Structure 1
Amino acid sequence: MNSPLTQTETGAIDARALHREATVIDGLIIAKWSRELLEDMRRGGLSAANCTVSVWEGFQATVDNIVATNALMEECSDLVLPVRTTADIRRAKQEDKTGIIFGFQNAHAFEDQIGYVEIFKKLGVGIVQLCYNTQNLVGTGCYERDGGLSGFGREIVAEMNRVGVMCDLSHVGANTSREVILESSRPVCYSHCLPSGLKEHPRNKSDEELKFIADHGGFVGVTMFTPFLRAGVNATIDDYVEAIVYVMNIVGEDAIGIGTDFTQGHDQAFFEWLTHDKGYARRLTSFGEIINPKGIRTIGEFGNLTEALLRHGLSEAQVRKIMGENWVRVLADVWGE
């Protein structure tokens, strides 16, 4: 049933009111940190976001990133607050702020020290992608031959389960992903992916992979990164919704959310760093032009997604789940609070 606040006089759902009321979570943002970016998060009505603080960096460089980000958040405490628990997400929503979840896109920062998992958890890291495109000590990424989860990787997964850090498999190879899904005692996720059923790409997930993670209690955040969308740089917000609905029809309405992969504010040098192994070695891929779908070019336009989902026939309950409620539930299952 629609609440009175989200209905127009004609009985239709008021998309703007719904977006204001809803808990809105972006499962992956790797944008350039600045006050301007945080202001745009508020314009977009984000209740919380998983914000990348490590990709190719090792332990020390990642700690330095966290120190710098903490300083920015302190300067911008009128806009954001740190997230350690799902109660913090609810508090951010109540205070009209954006909760910041620290996330890694690579387990490289753990180096060869299992104890670093808990250290980073205490620093606010709640989600860690196990591999970024290539091989590391844990397993294999999606851009090379997949040898599966290593013995050390099994220990890392167990430690992440113990301290409450979510395993992310978005850039991870299919074999390693399957073994993590089976190994983990807590839900795991693809925080930002698209279906290969709409476009074949090493970063996209097959229908079988999507079904497998959902069948084992996992979660799928759908990205809008245009190199992986069927329409590419010509994509619109409606193409993004097409992908969301496609995934939802496989995993169900309770195992799906948003993970945009916003790269807002970064220049070409940043993408060169991302697309070379270890940030400098062999080239892994070339994205070409980076432009977000028309209608959601910036984080500040996030509200347009709520409207587009409704326009495509999704119910208010489904939209609330996709926009954030599902993320809150699965994060509580992993974090334990």
Structure 2
Amino acid sequence: MSNLHQQSLVIDGLNISKWERLVFEDMKKGGLSAVNCTISVWENFQGTVGNVVDMKNLIRDNADLLTLVRGVEDIKRAKKEGRTGVILGFQNAHAFEDNLGYIEVFAELGVRVVQLCYNTQNLIGTGCYERDGGLSGFGREVIAEMNRVGIMVDLSHVGGNTSSEAILASAKPVCYSHCLPSGLKQHPRNKSDEQLKFIADHGGFIGVTMFPPFLKRGSNANVDDYVEAFDYIINLVGDDCVGIGTDFTQGYGKPFFEWLTHDKGRHRRLTDFGTVINPEGFRTIGDFPNLTAATERAGWKESRIRKVLGENWLRVFGEVWGA
């Protein structure tokens, strides 16, 4: 691990791995200061509260490696202590059900990032895999309440119209926590140049994923292809609003993807990713230092590397979460 990686604040803006000791040890090995850990996709309110309880138990049981993040000071403290800060996040607002009051409840439990829709339509708006009807009236109320209680709005799997309307409706910065540019590969989950510029122009944030089906060379990709995707986006929007959102699914196999990619968790199959092989050189979370090395090979200045590794995420989290 290079000195630069060791000294830098490193934040992964989206990770949906199997939450267990092996993964937490790999986060330590990778030098991760904080991670947005997905704890809800298709679960309802009660199921998600159960997941919060489970995650908090894991944080306690692995206190040598982990600490809960409620604000940016917790991330800085985690870095100082050599632990990884766990940010509780959802990849779907399904757990809000039709009750605005649940949003504050989750905020008080420590939830800090919520994606509005997962691939398809819910009560808030439309996902990226179907005809996009935009943000609902309820969706506008959800965003206003998320702004009020300090939960970041994530639009990674959200449709284009719903995303644009959410960006305009939000009084605080929103994000694509994990996405790639359509300019390198056409895919319903990838974002066009216009979409990337639009979120950046409105003070939003772009987390770049290395999920192989969305990368230009798919399963043949390596860590340098991942850096190429960063370069593409930075050339469009600059390097102040870009960070990492790996979308690691470490520890999971085929049944997990079956569950994840069926609409509403059990019905229509939305997509088939085939075999998911992470980029060569970045197969596991413990390989994070290889990403820093690849950015150095690509000729990035140290200031850019530090910003993209974590400083940018820290700043935007502060803007959304408040003091």
Cα distance in 1, alignment partners of residues 6 and 69 from structure 2: 20
Give 5+ residue unaligned stretches, structure 2.
Answer: none
Aligned-pair CA distance for 1:72: 1.0
SS of 1:192's equivalent in the other structure is: strand
Aligned-pair CA distance for 1:95: 0.2
Cα deviation 1:160-194 (Å, max 9, x = unaligned): 00000000000000000000000000000000000
Aligned-pair CA distance for 1:237: 0.2
Cα deviation 1:248-292 (Å, max 9, x = unaligned): 111211000000000000010000011100111001000001110
Instruction: Select the residue among 193, 198, 203 that pairs with 1:212.
Output: 198
- Name the residue aligned to 1:7: none
- Name the residue aligned to 1:294: 280
SS of 2:292's equivalent in the other structure is: helix
- Name the residue aligned to 1:12: none
Instruction: Select the residue among 82, 101, 117 that pairs with 2:87.
Output: 101
Quick one: which amino acid aligns to residue 233 of structure 2?
V
- Name the residue aligned to 2:41: 55
Give 1:193-272 correspondences, 5 Å limit. Answer: 193-272=179-258
Across the two proteins, how many residue pairs are aligned to each other? 323
Instruction: Select the residue among 31, 40, 45 that pairs with 2:17.
Output: 31
Cα distance in 2, alignment partners of residues 261 and 182 from structure 1: 26
Cα distance in 2, alignment partners of residues 57 and 134 from structure 1: 15
- Name the residue aligned to 1:119: 105
Quick one: which amino acid aligns to residue 289 of structure 1?
T
Cα distance in 1, alignment partners of residues 51 and 237 from structure 2: 35
Give 1:279-318 correspondences, 5 Å limit. Answer: 279-318=265-304
Quick one: which amino acid aligns to residue 155 of structure 2?
L
Give 5+ residue unaligned stretches, structure 1.
Answer: 1-14
Identical positions, percent:
67
Hey, which bits of structure 1, 4+ residues long, moved more than 4 A? none
Cα distance in 2, alignment partners of residues 161 and 33 from structure 1: 28
Quick one: which amino acid aligns to residue 91 of structure 1?
R
Cα deviation 1:53-99 (Å, max 9, x = unaligned): 00011000001111111111100000000000000000000000000
- Name the residue aligned to 2:71: 85
Q: Are 2:153 and 1:174 equivalent residues in the alignment?
A: no
SS of 1:302's equivalent in the other structure is: helix
Quick one: which amino acid aligns to residue 138 of structure 1?
I
Cα distance in 2, alignment partners of residues 279 and 150 from structure 1: 22
Give the TM-score taking structure 2 as reference length. Answer: 0.99
- Name the residue aligned to 2:322: 336
Q: Are 2:115 and 1:132 equivalent residues in the alignment?
A: no
Cα distance in 2, alignment partners of residues 90 and 261 from structure 1: 23
Cα distance in 2, alignment partners of residues 177 and 315 from structure 1: 32
Q: Are 2:307 and 1:321 equivalent residues in the alignment?
A: yes
RMSD of aligned alpha carbons:
0.6
Instruction: Select the residue among 8, 13, 19 that pairs with 1:22.
Output: 8
Cα distance in 2, alignment partners of residues 251 and 80 from structure 1: 33
SS of 2:234's equivalent in the other structure is: helix
